[in-house]
Structure 1
Amino acid sequence: MRKSVYVTALVLTAISLTACGGRKGPDNGSSGTVAETTQAITVDLEKVHQAVKEVYGENYIPSAAYDAQALNDIFGVPEDLYDEFIAEGPMISVHVDTFAAIKAKEGKGEEVEKLLTDYRTRLVEDSMQYPMNISKVQASEVVRHGDYVFFVMLGTASDEALDQGEEAALQSAQEENKKAVDAINAFFEG
């Protein structure tokens, strides 16, 4: 009986550690956030998209839907790597607000994550931005939960933060972007 209880306790401990496990990479504004959930969860990308839009309300700027060709041309993610996606960017070039939610084909999440991270790196290191958008680009994040991968560059840094300098603007942009990341992560919490 004791042996049975001991084995059961070990199994339950292992299951609970596996079910709640995950990893989160650095969140320093320079390399984005990467979270990977080990459990197999199925989410509706449209519901995630709606939740993110609701967080920002009328301040959700992306309004131009991207098709598969744009997903490949802009983000570098070809059709053979995913089952479905939702991606939007700004209609006006003065804005950079972008949202992408990709359900990668089974086992392809890491590859999609790398492509989105490469895209983010190009934005941060090689693109010319309006001064008001620099902190937003730097605060952008790639978030991964298994085969679900997201690129988030959303929110509006306060005018007060922009007036206080680069560091305050970056902190404000990170706080704004975190709203979307938190909304996404809520779908994967068990």
Structure 2
Amino acid sequence: MKKKIVAMILVLACVTGIYAPENAWEAPVTVEASTQKGKKTPSIQKVYNAVKKAYGDDYIPSEKVSKKELKERYGISSKWYSAAIAEVPMISANADTLVIVKAKNAASKKKIRSALKKYREELIQDTCQYPMNQLKIQASKVYVKGNYVCFIMLGTISNKQEEQSEDKVIAAYKKQNEKAVKAISKLYK
């Protein structure tokens, strides 16, 4: 039911022209760097594609985040990374978000991880969140693999699962986030 409502709002926003994303003319951040010291590191595009494929039709983010927005929203300086892809939902009523950042070095990786953890905590503390997103936000994850630091808040659960206790709903959303973790981990095997 919630998916239908969100879809209807999205269609109405697009048809009436009330939705006009800031910086829509800016290209997404997708600068690539070479692998470090002979270790095989998947490209950021492979990481992104693997995550997106893991969710299939349940992958909701569709609005690319610009380099400027990456700094403003997440506190991540362009000096810290060699590549980044970030997507958010087109409509703010949905919380699904994916941020993948390829750190330049170990010090940058720590800074990016810290910035994403801070962002996650701010989301959790934000009392202005849509009630339907609060538990999904609590289940969000900052994940580090190799040079990549990711913020993962993805996936859908059934209406039956949504009607369970808060702890069970959070656990169900955490399980959804694990799809992304597994997809990324497979690229390193």
TM-score by shorter chain over 0.5: yes
Q: How far apart, in 2, do the equivalents of 1:79 and 1:164 lie? A: 41
CA contact (8 A) 1:65 1:89 kept: yes
CA shift, 1:128, in A, is: 2.4
Identity within the alignment, %:
39
CA contact (8 A) 2:154 2:176 kept: yes
| Corresponding residue of 1:164 | 164
Q: How far apart, in 2, do the equivalents of 1:111 and 1:144 lie? A: 12
Say yes or no: does 1:42 pair with 2:41: yes
| Corresponding residue of 1:175 | 175
| Corresponding residue of 1:149 | 149
Instruction: Could you list the structure 1 runs, at least 4 aligned residues long, displaced by more than 3 angstroms after superposition.
Output: none
CA contact (8 A) 1:137 1:153 kept: yes
TM-score by length of 1: 0.75
| Corresponding residue of 1:99 | 98
CA contact (8 A) 1:104 1:147 kept: yes
1:167 is paired with a residue whose SS is: helix
Between 81-90 and 161-170, report the one with greater CA deviation. 161-170
Say yes or no: does 1:185 pair with 2:171: no
CA shift, 1:127, in A, is: 4.5
CA contact (8 A) 1:110 1:147 kept: no
TM-score by length of 2: 0.75
1:83 is paired with a residue whose SS is: strand
Q: How far apart, in 1, do the equivalents of 2:146 and 2:185 lie? A: 12
CA shift, 1:93, in A, is: 0.8
Q: How far apart, in 2, do the equivalents of 1:45 and 1:128 lie? A: 33
| Corresponding residue of 1:25 | none
Q: How far apart, in 2, do the equivalents of 1:177 and 1:41 lie? A: 24
CA contact (8 A) 1:124 1:138 kept: yes
Q: How far apart, in 2, do the equivalents of 1:114 and 1:51 lie? A: 24
Q: How far apart, in 1, do the equivalents of 2:157 and 2:137 lie? A: 11
- Structure 2 gaps, min length 5: 1-37
CA contact (8 A) 1:158 1:169 kept: no
| Corresponding residue of 1:131 | 131
Q: How far apart, in 2, do the equivalents of 1:185 and 1:128 lie? A: 34
Q: How far apart, in 1, do the equivalents of 2:55 and 2:146 lie? A: 26
CA shift, 1:132, in A, is: 1.7
CA contact (8 A) 1:40 1:146 kept: no
CA contact (8 A) 2:41 2:146 kept: no
Aligned length: 151
Q: How far apart, in 1, do the equivalents of 2:121 and 2:74 lie? A: 11
